Amino acid sequence: MQASHEYGHKAIPDKKGEPIRIDDTVKTANEDSLKGTVKDIVETKEEAQRYGARHPQVIIQEEQSGETFVKNPREVRSAEQ
């Protein structure tokens, strides 16, 4: 699965196949209370290593608490859904 640059911005599909973009608000697919903002979309192995992820195709999410997490985009969904 590749990230899309259709609208001039990085986008990657979430659990429901909807595009996630940088600055979108997302929540954990099974936990409505865990919301955060997408800070980056990692597409290369080098970027993944910089964030401590083993593989690309992850999002960097900043939670409401200020903590930053590396997440599989298929484990989150748009907070607007």
For the chain, domains (ranges, CATH) are 11-75 (2.30.30.1060)
> Rounded to two decimals, what is the model's pTM?
0.79
Question: Does 4 score more than 80 pLDDT?
Answer: no
Residue 44 has a pLDDT of 92
- Enumerate residues 6+ apart whose C-beta is below 8 A from 13: 1, 19, 20, 73, 74
**pLDDT tens readout for residues 32-44:** 667 899 999 999 9
53-71 pLDDT, tens per residue?
Answer: 988 889 999 988 889 999 9
Alpha-carbon distance values, 14 to 5, 11, 17, 74 (Å): 15, 9, 5, 5
Tokens describing residue 67: 């903590």
Give the whole-angstrom CA distance, residue 16 versus residue 23. Answer: 18
